[in-house]
Amino acid sequence: MRREVLGSSEFWNEWVDFEYDSIAHRKKIDAMPGGDANYRPQYLFELVKSYFQLILRRYSRGDSKSDLVQHFGGLLDTWEESEKLGRNVWTAEQARTRHAWTVNLDHYIVCFWLTGLALTLNIPDEQWQRLVALMGNDGEDALLDRVIASRQSDRKIGTTLCFPNVYQRLLDAVDALPEQQPKALRVFLDHWFVSLKNAGHPSFPPSHRTPYWYTFGQINPEGGAYFGYWCVEAVAVAKAFGIDDSLCLDHPNYPGDLLMDGRSPRYPDAVAAAQPSAPARGWLRRLLGK
């Protein structure tokens, strides 16, 4: 059964297959001679996004946690090739706006998601070291650096948050007394989605200050872009700091099965069709602050 309340098993099967086909097609196109060498680094990073979106689509569909880790190898290979080629293409300013957590909200979130997936799926040490090297930004963020340091003891820890309007509540949960951490984690989760809107750096145009995937579940979700609204950041913190997440397990955005399969709600097809049911619309309105 599905973990994601929206959609049906048929929907998730269709779009998981589509993502597999998209990855294969992109790799085939990339192997062809010619093409725009200046665009190839970005083309490959779009393929990186397809890999982690595939992981989240499969999680939404209800696939076993143990089946998700297989996609990390291809993701890392592709990201490394993108970075290698990009060094000959990007200007210093382009490289900064692409990679710096302090300015690029999308990239910060992707790195947080990949860190959370890596920790909860227990990727091998060799892959972990490659991931840390690709993410970079050592000492740039007071929260994500600490999450990474839970497996990388020599990680330099930042002194400020890159995006405090979104993540101060999550840092508060980390710093809370043990008995207060479960409630504080839930408070962050309840505010997470709404707080992301327009949370990006003011140097970016307004259209790039909200995560690229933010409207995927609201505008034409049946079109296939939607891969779930999963707050991997919360489960990453629960894993890294041993926080009791039991208060979060019923939250529609909390991917609790990443820690241990069988804890998160499941939805048979009779409960919800491809369009949101009335209860689903209710939590979606609350999620959007409407």
> In this structure, is residue 240 part of a structural domain?
yes
Range of the domain at 47: 9-287
pLDDT reported for residue 290 = 42
> In this structure, is residue 4 part of a structural domain?
no
> In this structure, is residue 79 part of a structural domain?
yes
> In this structure, is residue 2 part of a structural domain?
no
Work out the pLDDT band at 96, boundaries 50, 70, 90. Answer: very high
Unique residue bearing structure tokens 């140097």: 203
Q: Which amino acid is at 217?
A: G
Please write the tens of the pLDDT for every residue from 258-282.
999 999 999 999 754 444 333 343 4
pLDDT reported for residue 276 = 39
Unique residue bearing structure tokens 């999963």: 230
> In this structure, is residue 166 part of a structural domain?
yes
Q: Of 231, 236, 217, give the one whose Cα is nearest residue 275.
A: 217
Secondary structure (DSSP) of 173-238: HHHS-GGGHHHHHHHHHHHHHHHHTT-S-TTS-GGGSS-TTTTTTTS-GGGS-------HHHHHHH
Mean pLDDT of the chain: 92
> In this structure, is residue 181 part of a structural domain?
yes
Please write the tens of the pLDDT for every residue from 193-227.
999 999 999 988 888 899 999 999 988 888 889 99
> In this structure, is residue 113 part of a structural domain?
yes
> In this structure, is residue 126 part of a structural domain?
yes
Unique residue bearing structure tokens 């098993």: 9
Number of domains, the chain: 1
Q: Which amino acid is at 114?
A: L
Q: Which amino acid is at 118?
A: A
pTM above the 0.85 mark? yes
Q: Which two tokens stand for residue 100?
A: 């710096």
